[in-house]
Amino acid sequence: MRAREPVGGIELLQARFSGRAYEKHRHDSYGICVTDLGIQSFDYRGQVETSLPGQVVVLHPDETHDGRAGAEGGFGYRIVYVQPACIAEAVHAITGRPTPLPFVRQPVADNPTLASAVTDAFRSPLEPLAVDALVVRFAEGLLAGDTAGHSAGTPRRIDHAALARGREFLNSRRATVRSAELEAVTGLSRYEFARQFRVVCGTSPHRYALMRRLDFARLHLRSGMPLAELALLAGFADQAHFTRRFRSA
């Protein structure tokens, strides 16, 4: 088992088990899981459920479940626990109205939105703006799986002035931008800003800010500045961090 400390309302766990993994228990958060290998079986809401590699499991807050291998060889998965308050705020930003928490009645399904969000969560540095964007994607995926039919369409309005202020702020910063900073600059909640920003700019605030920092570094690569110094100037933890992000982009 490998776990990461909770950040911004989400927590990550990667595990592999053989036989019976754990007894019945429940969480006060959403559990959004992708089965990586083997067959995962569990009891949930009076049914025996089975998940195959690549499938997504959604466990609603406060619902009792257990876990075991469905075949010899064990099973493995990656799971993201998301606080309901974060999902509730993101759903409100998406739908534009007070909406009950999404309830996915089919706990095992092929849900590309949630699967890609889980994958990105484990690849992400979990900086504040990255977490905001992930929460919005989890909310969108949960809405898509909710048979109550909540709409996950375009927000009720686009606050172009607020988005312009936020974009200008992102352009001006080299250090990691905090969600509260953008909320203060734009007057929008972090999830509403992330949602509207993607509609207008085609990417998440985190990705946009990262690319501006990389653009800044690229312009200064020919200056002769030592890479370690340039990495810090561009807001990266060290030269290795900068190199990884630069190569990836």
pLDDT category, 248, cuts 50, 70, 90?
A: confident
Give the pLDDT of residue 47: 95
**Of 68, 58, 79, 2, which Cα lies nearest the Cα of 38?**
68
Coil, strand, or helix at residue 195?
helix
pLDDT of the residue at 180: 95
Measured distance CA(114)–CA(128) in Å, rounded: 19
Q: Domain 160-248, CATH 1.10.3720.10 — does that match?
A: no
The yes/no answer on whether domain 2-145 falls in CATH 2.60.120.280 is yes
- State the residue for tokens 């909406």: 99
Q: For residues 43 and 41, what is the distance between their CA atoms, to the nearest angstrom?
A: 7
Task: Decide if 137 contacts 82 (C-beta within 8 A).
Answer: no
Residue 176 pLDDT > 90: no
Residues 6+ apart with CB under 8 A from 187: 159, 162
Count of all residues that appear for the chain in the document: 249
Residues 186, 184: Cα–Cα separation, whole Å:
6
In which residue ranges of the chain is CATH 1.10.10.60 found? 160-248
- Between helix 205-220 and helix 160-172 the angle, nearest 10°, is 40
Tokens of 227: 């890479």
- pLDDT, tens digit (0-9, with 9 covering 90-100), for 126-168: 889 999 999 999 999 999 998 775 554 555 678 999 999 999 9
pLDDT tens digit sequence for 71-125? 999 999 999 999 998 999 999 999 888 788 899 999 999 999 999 999 999 998 8
DSSP element (H, E) containing 76: strand 75-82
The structure's pTM equals 0.79
Residues of the chain within CATH 2.60.120.280 domain(s) are 2-145
How many other C-beta atoms are found inside a 10 Å radius of the C-beta of residue 75? 25
Place of tokens 């998406």: 94
State the pLDDT at residue 98.
Answer: 77
Classify the C-alpha dihedral 128-130-132-135 as positive or negative: negative
The crossing angle, in degrees rounded to 10, of helices 179-186 and 128-145 is 80
* Contact present, 4 and 79 (Cβ < 8 Å): no
Q: How far apart are CA 145 and CA 114, in angstroms?
A: 10
Residue given tokens 């250090």 in the structure block: 175
Cα–Cα distance for residue pair 44/57, rounded to 1 Å: 11
Map tokens 């500045």 to a residue: 225
